[in-house]
Chain A
């Protein structure tokens, strides 16, 4: 119970700091974040856009891991965990796409550009959609669990192709701090701390929501199998 309040306070602090810390061209004090030419105030969306994209990926990873567990042990429990993670992943994927589009409109002029990163988040949307379409087309809990686990594993393998390989081969609009050849960190320290805090907060939020969804899923399964 305590950690839920702690999470609430943590995220409130992060959100307040993300919006109120002054952005100046040359930060002199620790509580000033740099104003990058071209981004200025608009760059604050990074504290929310990247964590949602990150949580989408984490959710997919969790969903796939429990899919593998289901294939190994054949316990419907693992399938419930897999679906709950996929549902939340879909939600965060929609959020990442929307925040990304908004940012793209302000920075690059149009809502959608088919930049490789944008394409990869779109593909994740399609994968989640296909996953739920597959689940709704199969009758029988075990068959559904088995086939959707196999599909999530196959779909997960395409993700490294998109996120890591394609952007290196095709030109990208996405900027340097996230993906650069040397792997160096270019972000100012204050920004980085807030960014990591936001990332951690979103991840813990995901696991909390997932825990709730799993408990609901288990109860629904018990109710539906009693009929």
Chain B
């Protein structure tokens, strides 16, 4: 057990360190967020945007940022040719959970950045029920990371990696997206925490299912 934890943390730290050395994904993601927000602000101009579209736009930015950034963990292994080494050195579940941890970290950091910028820059977007919003942001980021990681593992083994990734990830992440967009809208309108209960249970169950199932199936993807 202790060995497994060390192996998982090892994979996580290796990916994080190599990411911090080159900063390739992080820079690309931050630029993506800035560019998208600028486009949206530009298209609004001096007008105030209607409130009911703002929740959806927030999660569009979050989703496409995830699509840009979260596939790097697996695709970079294939590109650098280190897949076989990793297969030999560690148990496949360590690889899965290590990379999942990295994607969770990346997802939480980028989503927080997006939300902070969004709250500052878009004038009509004000949260009234913070408890709902924060919980949705957390569960949504975790769920996004889980779904994105397993699809990244599948796509890394295919040929046309870039364009295939959003195509495969979207149907799987869609229940999550529908739930978080409704939930964000509820938080903006000031609904009570109790009324969001069903939605939060839904998000939580999605998270459990999409972390357990990929863990069970990962061996079939990872091992040739």
A residues sitting closer than 8 Å to B (CB atoms) are 71, 119, 123, 126-127, 129-130, 133-134, 137-139, 143, 146-147, 149-151, 153-155, 157-158, 161-162, 165-166, 168-170
Question: How near does chain B come to A84, taking the closest CB pair, in angstroms?
Answer: 21
Given contacts A137-B160, A139-B159, contact A146 B220 (CB under 8 A): yes
Chain B residue nearest to A165 in the complex (CB): B202
Report the separation of the CA atoms of residues A119 and B179 in the bound assembly, to the nearest whole angstrom: 13
Determine whether B154 belongs to the interface, using a CB cutoff of 8 Å to chain A. Answer: yes
Supply 21 A–B pairs (Cβ within 8 Å), ascending by A.
A123-B171, A126-B170, A126-B171, A129-B167, A130-B167, A130-B168, A130-B171, A134-B154, A138-B157, A138-B158, A151-B168, A154-B151, A154-B210, A155-B172, A157-B209, A161-B206, A165-B175, A165-B202, A166-B179, A168-B198, A170-B182
A154 close to B214 (CB less than 8 A): yes
Q: What is the chain A residue whose CB lies nearest that of B214?
A: A154
Neighbouring A residues of B210 by C-beta, 8 Å: 154, 157
B164 touches A147 (CB 8 A): no
Return the chain A residue nearest B150 by Cβ: A154
> Assuming the A-B contacts A143-B157, A147-B154, are A158 and B220 also in contact, with contact meaning beta carbons closer than 8 angstroms in the complex?
no
Question: Are B157 and A147 in contact, with the CB atoms below 8 A?
Answer: yes
**Please, how many angstroms separate the alpha-carbon atoms of A158 and B154 in the complex?**
17
Shortest beta-carbon distance, A69 to chain B, in Å? 13
Per DSSP, are chain B's interface residues mostly helix, strand or loop, or mixed?
A: helix
Find out whether the CB atom of B202 lies under 8 angstroms from the CB atom of A169.
Answer: yes
**Alpha-carbon separation in the docked complex, A151 to B150 (Å):** 9
Q: Which residue of the partner chain A has the closest CB to B199? A: A169
Give CA–CA (A127, B160) in the complex, Å: 18
| B160 contacts across to A, CB distance below 8 A | 137
B residues within 8 A CB of A139? Answer: 159
For B174, list chain A residues within 8 Å (CB). Answer: 123, 126, 158, 162
